Amino acid sequence: MSISKKILKNLVCPKCKSKIHADNSIYSCENLECSSKYPVIDGIPILINEENSIFNIGDFNIHNKTTITSKNNTRLTRLKSKLLPKIGINLKAKQNYYTFLSTLVKNSSNRNVLVIGGEATGSGMESLINTNEIELIETDVSFGSRTMIICDGHDIPFENDTFDGVIVQAVLEHVVDPYRCVEEIHRVLKNDGLVYSETPFMQQVHMGRHDFTRFTHLGHRRLFRKFEEIESGAVCGPGMALAWSIQYFFLAFTKSKKIRKLIIYFTIFTSFFWKYFDYYLIDREGSYDSASGYYFFGKKSNTTLSDRDLISSYRGSQQ
């Protein structure tokens, strides 16, 4: 996987957004007042603005664990993930990515899509990965099998109007300032560029210290108020939310790693079936009040959704 020259040309300094000079081993900001330098580690540029980020370039230099790393792809972990039931299910992502792709390529080819948090393949994303119709630029704040650039969503190192699409799936709960990240997404998208976002609502803390925010359906809509909505709704339903709650209820009793592991296995086998209710519930009004997570699929707009219009778009059961 390599990034096309057309996209590389649009890389900028994450700190001052000036042009950047790319070398094999170092990227240098061409603005003399800034003149920041960014290393290239194992072929991957580390384009982090340290003034604005919780990550340090040094952590990547020595391959420190930053957030998550791809699960060890051993035979045992593959076997486990095949055999063990799951307490959650994303019922919409696959279809949503088909819609995203077909909308994107409808009027033109040569489309490019920025993936924020693309260290590993997102749920249901196979259709985008297996097509030659678009160029995916996969970025993250950790090295993974699919990471092409290390960068932080708070300072996206690309020029304005670079991308035809941006994907940010299950990421915005893990950034300290989701509003700033969405401003950045808006900036790097071309006019009428598409955005696809998923964020959790009824989910307990995951990824430990890197978990900050939850959004209701309307809260998520407001986050993207400078976008016109194409579609939105629940991706993971109330059944999954209940299964997670049961698991985290028992986990709350102990810090012991061993007991927590036992609790996880116990709750997997006793709560996995709740997710099947989500096939029935996912599109119902009640899910807008109680889902495990929501999606927003929209188009960059020049107008901003007013808060009055926002509240009149409530779709839940509490009319």
Mark residues 271-310: x for contact with Zn ion by CB under 5 A, - for none. Answer: ----------------------------------------
Choice from 10, 11, 13, 157 touching Zn ion (CB under 5 A): 13
Q: Does 29 bind Zn ion (CB under 5 A)?
A: yes
Q: Which stretch binds Zn ion (CB under 5 A): 28-36, 66-74, 117-125, 279-287?
A: 28-36
Choice from 3, 8, 16, 44 touching Zn ion (CB under 5 A): 16
Amino acid present at 261: K
Taking the C-alpha atoms of residue 135 and residue 100, their distance in angstroms, rounded to an integer, is 14
Nearer to Zn ion, 184 or 289 (CB): 184
Q: Does 36 bind Zn ion (CB under 5 A)?
A: yes
Q: Does 230 bind Zn ion (CB under 5 A)?
A: no
Taking the C-alpha atoms of residue 94 and residue 104, their distance in angstroms, rounded to an integer, is 15
Identify the CA nearest to 170 among candidates 123, 202, 204.
Answer: 123
Packing angle of the helix pair 257-271, 238-251 (nearest 10 deg): 150
Choice from 10, 11, 15, 139 touching Zn ion (CB under 5 A): 15
Nearer to Zn ion, 50 or 135 (CB): 50
Amino acid present at 10: N
Nearer to Zn ion, 45 or 117 (CB): 45
Least Cβ distance, residue 39 to Zn ion (angstroms):
15
Question: Cα 111 to the chain's mean position, in Å?
Answer: 19
Nearer to Zn ion, 187 or 260 (CB): 187
How many alpha carbons lie under 13 Å from residue 240 in its C-beta half-sphere? Answer: 26
Question: Tokens 């993936």 — which residue?
Answer: 115
Question: Residue 169: helix, strand or coil by DSSP?
Answer: strand
Phi, psi of 85 (to 5 degrees): -65, 160
Least Cβ distance, residue 13 to Zn ion (angstroms):
3
What residues line the site for Zn ion (CB under 5 A)?
A: 13, 15-16, 18, 29, 31, 34, 36
